């Protein structure tokens, strides 16, 4: 853990120092990409996932404000207006794209599905899960995101030819964040469900669906996967609020943490198995749980002043998902300095927290991201 402490501390200092400069100076502060990033043939970044990664796809589907963030104060720290991202600024894929010297990766539903794969595209949808049933009818599930990717690949082949399209898809880095909603949805809306479903069986079903999509991406030609574990969901402001509602003092909700501790090891096991089974399959596994747990235990060391309450929301810990006043509860509070907060709203990290994760994913130590880091995937 000593290496992790040092890395997190340096990342926090790096980000906080960058906030004192104009935003247009930020890209120059990021580490230069490796020479082996092949400037004549740039590596695309293709993104799947949930609200942690959604850049605004949910702006273009029939849904409710529960699954949207296209209203203030979302986006106001960096973009100066809402984009559909569930944070005050940039997301993890935004930072990864900057590190790789790519443009910000556009929402698939904004760009259409023609040549977008050549530079990268983001299929993520806020509220999505690995299970099709998770928030069904209001989000784009992981399986539907894969179908959209397959259609984009089909259009790419028609445009540039099979050989060129195969090269784009094979060289691309695929970034995935999924699974949180599969557990949060029943925990918040139907906690009794786990009385009739064994947690181990439910977790196996979620991880099985993730594994299934990874195999499909491989069959489509993808080889390099960057994937996040689940974070300490029970310590998110919304779950601390649930703890208070159940008569607690706002501690981390143990039922959620228990599910995460089943999910993450199983996902790791499946990834190791896929690397043995699938030709050319390489992955970067980011330990989101450990990074956030360390930060919650030692906030000042990592540049944060508040790690329990959200910057934006209402109620205890600002744990009501009311940021922006368009989700049923109109009243909400907003902090003055989002960079001091680990969480921007009841469920989502601040831009400062996203930078912390992205920087460690890009080039963090092996006990946080492995067996490859994202930088090395771009080089291969």
Terminal alpha carbon distance of the chain: 28
Q: Which has the minimum average pLDDT: 119-128, 170-179, 189-198, 256-265? A: 189-198
In the predicted structure, residue 233 carries a pLDDT above the cut 70: yes
Confidence (pLDDT) at 22: 32
| Full set of structural domains in the chain with CATH | 45-302+351-379 (3.40.50)
Position 189 scores a pLDDT of 86
At residue 5, the pLDDT reads 54
Q: Calculate mean pLDDT across residues 167-181.
A: 97
- How many CB atoms are closer than 10 A to CB 37? 16
- Judge whether residue 170 has pLDDT over 60: yes
**pLDDT the model gives residue 286:** 97
Residue 355 or 188, more confident: 355
What mean pLDDT is predicted for residues 347-376? Answer: 95
d(CA 24, CA 138): 36
- Which residues does the annotation mark as catalytic? 51, 345, 348
The answer to whether the beta carbons of residues 349 and 52 sit under 8 Å apart is yes
What is the pTM assigned to this prediction? 0.90
Percent of the chain predicted with pLDDT > 70: 88
Question: What does the pLDDT average to over 359-377?
Answer: 94
Residue 58: both structure tokens together = 């949910």
Indicate the pLDDT class of residue 44, thresholds 50, 70 and 90: very high
Position 113 confidence tier, pLDDT thresholds 50, 70, 90: low
Local structure of residue 34 (DSSP, 8 states): P
Predicted confidence band of residue 363 (pLDDT cuts 50, 70, 90): very high
Residue 284's φ and ψ, nearest 5 degrees, are -120, 120
* Cα–Cα distance measured from residue 188 to residue 165, given in angstroms and rounded to the nearest whole number: 43
Q: Enumerate the β-bridge partners of residue 173.
A: 45, 224
| Segment 156-168 mean pLDDT | 92
Q: If you average pLDDT over residues 281-310, what whole number do you get?
A: 96
Predicted local confidence at residue 15, as pLDDT: 47
Range 62-89 average pLDDT: 98
Using pLDDT thresholds of 50, 70 and 90, give the confidence band for residue 201.
very high
pLDDT at 8: 55
Which of 301, 289, 296, 287 shows the shortest CA–CA distance to 9? 301
Asked which of 10-19, 113-122, 221-230, 288-297 is least confident by mean pLDDT, the reply is 10-19
Report the share of the chain in percent with pLDDT over 90.
81
366 pLDDT band, cuts 50/70/90, is confident
The overall average pLDDT reported for the chain is 89
Confidence band for 9, pLDDT divided at 50, 70 and 90: low
User: What pLDDT, on a 0 to 100 scale, did the predictor assign at position 193?
Assistant: 79
The reported pLDDT for the residue numbered 339 is 97
User: Could you tell me if 283 and 211 are in contact, meaning their C-beta atoms sit under 8 angstroms apart?
Assistant: no
Query: Who contacts 187 (Cβ-Cβ below 8 Å, separation ≥6)?
Result: 233, 239, 242, 253, 255, 256, 259
Percentages of the chain per state (helix, strand, coil), in multiples of 5 = 50, 10, 40
């Amino acid at each position: 853990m000593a290496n992790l402490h040092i890395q997190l501390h340096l990342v926090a200092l790096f980000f906080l120092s960058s906030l004192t400069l104009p935003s247009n100076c930020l890209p120059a502060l990021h580490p230069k990409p490796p020479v082996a990033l092949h400037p004549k043939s740039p590596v695309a970044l293709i993104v799947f996932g949930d609200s942690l990664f959604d850049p605004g796809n949910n702006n273009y589907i029939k849904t409710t404000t529960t699954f949207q963030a296209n209203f203030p104060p979302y986006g106001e720290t960096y973009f100066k207006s809402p984009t559909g991202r569930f944070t005050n600024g940039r997301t993890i894929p935004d930072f990864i794209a900057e590190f790789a010297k790519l443009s910000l990766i556009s929402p698939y539903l904004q760009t259409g599905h023609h040549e977008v794969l050549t530079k990268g595209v983001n299929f993520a949808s806020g509220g999505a899960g690995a299970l099709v049933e998770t928030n069904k009818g209001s989000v784009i599930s992981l399986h539907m995101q894969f179908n959209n990717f397959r259609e984009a690949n089909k259009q790419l082949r028609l445009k540039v030819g099979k050989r060129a399209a195969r090269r784009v898809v094979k060289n691309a880095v695929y970034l995935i964040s999924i699974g949180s909603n599969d557990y949060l949805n029943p925990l918040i809306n139907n906690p009794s469900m786990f009385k009739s479903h064994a947690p181990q069986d439910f977790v196996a079903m979620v991880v099985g669906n993730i594994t299934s999509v990874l195999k499909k991406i491989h069959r489509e030609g993808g080889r390099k996967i960057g994937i996040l574990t689940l974070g300490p969901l029970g310590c998110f402001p919304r779950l601390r609020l649930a703890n208070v509602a159940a008569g607690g003092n706002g501690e981390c909700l143990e039922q959620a943490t228990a599910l995460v501790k089943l999910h993450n090891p199983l996902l790791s096991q499946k990834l190791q198995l896929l690397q043995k089974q699938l030709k050319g399959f390489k992955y970067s596994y980011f330990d989101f749980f450990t990074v956030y747990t360390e930060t919650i235990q030692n906030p000042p060391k990592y540049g944060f002043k508040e790690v329990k309450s959200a910057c934006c929301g209402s109620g205890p810990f600002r744990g009501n998902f009311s940021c922006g006043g368009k989700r049923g509860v109109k009243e909400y509070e907003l902090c003055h300095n989002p960079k001091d907060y680990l969480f921007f709203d009841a469920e989502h990290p601040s831009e400062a927290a996203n930078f912390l994760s992205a920087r460690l994913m890009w080039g963090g130590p092996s006990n946080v991201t492995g067996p490859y880091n994202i930088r090395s995937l771009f080089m291969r």
